[in-house]
Amino acid sequence: MLVSTSGVTFLLPINFKEISFSFYFKFRDGNTGKTVNFYRRIHNNEDSGNATIYKHPTMKSSEQKPNQGDSRRDFLKKTSVITAIALTPGTAIKAAENNADERFAELFEKIPLKLTVNNKAYQTTVEPRVTLLEYLREELHLTGTKKGCDHGQCGACTVHVDGQRVNACLSLAVMNEGKKITTIEGLANGDTLHPMQAAFIKHDGFQCGYCTPGQIMSAVACVREGHANSRAEISEYMSGNICRCGAYPNIVDAIIEVKEGGETI
């Protein structure tokens, strides 16, 4: 039984030859009463005129991938959309009922995700390819965490995951199921700045400020880890955070002040 349908969304076609829609359905199984979310993108291919399952424009065609065999995508591409949707609920409910330790995304473009960000619990669904960084910025609008290089080389996206500093750009959101995330927005206590934030301001630990959220998150972790015992040690353990303005000496000053302040941070 179809219990609800969210409207049809237009996605901006990248090559302007294809038009994509995304559908979001909610199904309820009459027998078990369980609700299953179903999300599917459909695009209209100009050449064939047939509606097919959405394929990312940059994805290689199946001709280029001879090993693909009878994969999910091939199967669905050969099947009409209506058939695919008609077939999906039963199978999807079966997957949802299966409490095994494996979570299959095969039937969903998006998969469920539960996590805590800055002490607030979130329950959502995301595409597997969404990184933690993109999820924080685009979905939760926590734009304090910056996208710098997007390849784990600059540290601008540093956040804490279960207390450990990580590069959010190299972690998929779905890998963080059940984790507690802290971003720069979660550091201050109301209007009272975190001691590291205050120290960065006092010591002028930035110029343009783009790397600063990552620097501060990394600096807090550096002190907590016990790696802030000398200027040399701080430089080594802060080396994953690049500052193109070159505020390094002032950043080290700020970290030393917080460390020597002896406050539990």
Q: Which residues bind another protein (CB under 8 A)?
A: 56, 58-60, 65, 67-68, 71-73, 101-106, 109, 111, 127-129, 131, 150-152, 155, 158, 164-167, 170-172, 174-175, 177, 218, 221-222, 225, 227, 235-237, 239-241
Tell me which amino acid residue 126 is.
V
**Nearer of residues 68 and 207 to another protein, judged by Cβ:** 68
Q: Which run of H or E residues covers position 75?
A: helix 72-78
**Nearer of residues 1 and 100 to another protein, judged by Cβ:** 100
**Nearer of residues 104 and 122 to another protein, judged by Cβ:** 104
Q: How far is the CB of 30 from another protein (least distance, A)?
A: 29
What is the torsion angle, in degrees rounded to the nearest 10, for the CA atoms of residue 135, residue 139, residue 145 and residue 149? 50
Distance (Å, rounded) from C-alpha 3 to C-alpha 109? 19
**Nearer of residues 27 and 108 to another protein, judged by Cβ:** 108
Q: How far is the CB of 71 from another protein (least distance, A)?
A: 6
Q: How far is the CB of 64 from another protein (least distance, A)?
A: 10
Q: How far is the CB of 86 from another protein (least distance, A)?
A: 22
3-state secondary structure of 54: coil
Distance (Å, rounded) from C-alpha 257 to C-alpha 98? 53
Q: Which residue has the tokens 């179903």?
A: 38
Q: How far is the CB of 147 from another protein (least distance, A)?
A: 12
Q: Which residues, other chains included, contact 33 with Cβ-Cβ below 8 Å and sequence gap of 6+? A: none
Distance (Å, rounded) from C-alpha 17 to C-alpha 66? 26
